């Protein structure tokens, strides 16, 4: 495993699921962890857990809402004051909406874009100049297979991940000569609380996901591997790669498959 000794690494959505697993995996590399999430109790528990096996790791946590720009400003200022740099940003925080498009209120559409997209954009706007000044850095935007091909009954979530992918592709080129690597990663179906925490409006009839979920530990290990190798666009699951292939060459076939799931 590559050593990230002292590398200042910010992870959003770190209190559970993929974010917490990423924190554990990055701790194994010796990274300095900056953990960000709204749930203070879970952040504290995660720090305690990691400290028991990785006592040498430097960690700090910020219980905040990433859509709160002044709170993000204070957090970034504090991190730079304490560590004098930011080497890695992993934009992971997100949630889903499981609803028909017409049943989803406009307020809910705006809210999901604030969390899943605009908060990540704001963090990148804050962090990119810092990385440029220090001569380099890495940003990994945690997207989704549905950022490559949208799915029915989750149009809002798909749109946020597709937009995040577009920004990633643009920024990758804008900052390539400045030493900053900007990456997009698509975990696919993972064993987290994501489905349980989705917001729902109206009556939906979507069937369960017909694949065995990847464990968060496996997901985190593959994401850190992609981060090490500067992989520009990573799709973690075979079914995800197959879906993107079919959508590219046989889009009407995939439409028919998806229609059977609604």
Distance of alpha carbon 40 from alpha carbon 62, whole angstroms: 8
Contacts of 192 (CB under 8 A, 6+ apart): 16, 17, 18, 216
The pTM is what? 0.93
SS3 label, residue 194: coil
Long-range contacts formed by 218-225: CB under 8 A, 24+ apart: 219/18, 219/21, 219/187, 219/190, 220/18, 220/21, 220/22, 220/24, 220/25, 221/25, 223/18, 223/22, 223/25, 223/90, 223/140, 223/142, 223/185, 223/187, 224/22, 224/25, 224/26, 224/29
Closest alpha carbon to 198 in 260, 89, 90, 115: 115
Catalytic residue among 62, 95, 122, 157: 157
Residue 190 lies in a domain: yes
CATH of the domain at 159: 3.40.50.720
184 is catalytic: no
Residue 16 lies in a domain: yes
Residue 142 lies in a domain: yes
Residue 28 lies in a domain: yes
| 177-224 pLDDT, tens digit each | 999 999 999 998 887 777 777 888 887 655 555 568 889 999 999 999
| 92-118 pLDDT, tens digit each | 999 999 999 999 999 999 999 999 999
Please give the full DSSP string across 153-189, using - where no structure is assigned: T-HHHHHHHHHHHHHHHHHHHHTGGGTEEEEEEE--S
Q: Which residue has the higher pLDDT, 191 or 1?
A: 191
- Domain count for the chain, please give it: 1
Q: Once rounded to an integer, what is the mean pLDDT over residues 77-81?
A: 98
Residue 1 lies in a domain: no
Domain with 121 in it:
8-259
Residue 120 has pLDDT above 60, yes or no: yes
Confidence (pLDDT) at 212: 81
Residue 2 lies in a domain: no
Alpha carbon distances (Å) from 217 to 16, 23, 136, 222, 224:
12, 10, 28, 9, 11
What is the end-to-end Cα distance of the chain in Å, rounded? 42
The token pair at 6 is 């002292």
Sheet of 233-235, strands arranged across:
59-63, 32-37, 8-12, 88-91, 137-142, 180-186, 233-235
Distance of alpha carbon 67 from alpha carbon 70, whole angstroms: 9
Residue 3 lies in a domain: no
Rounded to the nearest integer, the mean pLDDT of the chain is 93
């Amino acid at each position: 495993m590559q050593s990230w000794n002292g590398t200042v690494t910010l992870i959003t959505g770190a209190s559970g699921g993929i974010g917490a697993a990423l924190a554990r995996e990055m701790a194994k590399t010796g990274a300095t962890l900056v953990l960000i999430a709204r749930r203070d109790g879970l952040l504290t528990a995660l720090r305690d857990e990691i400290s028991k096996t990785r006592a040498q790791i430097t960690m700090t946590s910020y219980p905040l809402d990433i859509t709160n720009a002044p709170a993000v400003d204070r957090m970034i200022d504090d991190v730079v004051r304490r560590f004098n740099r930011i080497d890695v940003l992993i934009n992971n925080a997100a949630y889903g909406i499981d609803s028909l498009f017409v049943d989803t209120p406009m307020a809910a559409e705006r809210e999901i874009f604030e969390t899943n997209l605009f908060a990540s954009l704001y963090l990148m706007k804050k962090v990119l100049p810092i990385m440029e000044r220090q001569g380099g850095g890495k940003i990994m935007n945690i997207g989704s297979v549905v950022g490559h091909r949208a799915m029915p009954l989750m149009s809002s979530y798909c749109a946020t991940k597709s937009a995040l992918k577009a920004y990633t592709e643009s920024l990758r080129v804008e900052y390539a000569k400045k030493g900053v690597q900007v990456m997009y990663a698509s975990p696919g179906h993972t064993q987290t609380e994501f489905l349980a925490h989705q917001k729902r409006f109206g009556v939906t009839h979507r069937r369960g996901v017909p694949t065995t979920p990847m464990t968060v530990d496996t997901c985190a290990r593959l994401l850190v591997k992609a981060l090490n190798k500067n992989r520009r666009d990573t799709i973690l699951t075979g079914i995800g790669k197959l879906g993107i292939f079919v959508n590219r060459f046989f889009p009407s076939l995939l439409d028919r498959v998806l229609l059977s799931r609604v």
